[in-house]
Amino acid sequence: MIAASKKRLDRKGFTLVEVIVTILATAIMGAIFINYMGTAMSQSTRAIEHVRGEAEAEATIEWIVADYVFEMNKNYATAVDYATALTNIKKYIEQDKRYGGNVSAGYVIFDSNGNEAADTSGNNHTLKVAVAAAGNDLTTLLTKSRTETQNPAVPF
């Protein structure tokens, strides 16, 4: 009797049920992993699209500001006539589409609480320029920044 029971205990290997359960568990985990990796792979390019869109928007804002500074400095006698510069930049945005279709501009005012409102009178001349981008939209305010009619000093 002792030899027969020892023979049963010394068997090595897996039963058919254990093998089937292991294969099923591996298949389920594999399906979950494939599903997760597929979603992660399809969304991995969004970060690149956001960075590219934001870089393009930043370049557009820099171009608008450079054009604004150019308009301000066209003639040193009228360099403080920022209303003309703003009007020209607004015209470029609305009519010429120089900066692309993702740019909008409008005159704004701010009340004592800091709330923004449209400037319908046109007396304030603060131009809000917004550039739509993938990820984040960029906004800048163009206002009177020079008070002298002399040419600005050029830093070396």
pLDDT tens per residue, range 116-138: 888 777 677 788 888 888 767 88
Structure confidence at residue 156 as a pLDDT band (50, 70, 90): very low
Summarised one tens digit per residue, pLDDT across range 36-48 is 777 766 666 677 8
Structure confidence at residue 31 as a pLDDT band (50, 70, 90): confident
Dist CA 80 CA 77 (whole Å) = 8
Structure confidence at residue 27 as a pLDDT band (50, 70, 90): very high
Q: Quick one: pLDDT at residue 25? A: 94
Structure confidence at residue 20 as a pLDDT band (50, 70, 90): very high
DSSP type of residue 151: P
> What is the average pLDDT value for the chain, to the nearest integer?
76
The domain segmentation of the chain, as residue ranges, is 51-142
- pLDDT at residue 5 is higher than 60: no
Structure confidence at residue 148 as a pLDDT band (50, 70, 90): low
Tell me which range, 12-16, 21-25, 63-67, is most confidently predicted by mean pLDDT.
21-25
Q: Quick one: pLDDT at residue 21? A: 93
Closest of 54, 56, 83 to residue 143, by C-alpha: 83
Closest of 109, 93, 105, 92 to residue 140, by C-alpha: 105
- pLDDT at residue 106 is higher than 90: no
Dist CA 122 CA 41 (whole Å) = 50
SS (H, E, C) 87-116: HHHHHHHHHHCCCCCCEEEEEEEECCCCCE
Beta strands in the chain (DSSP E): 103-110, 116-118, 127-131, 138-142
The distance in angstroms from the start CA to the end CA of the chain is 103
Percent of the chain predicted with pLDDT > 70: 71
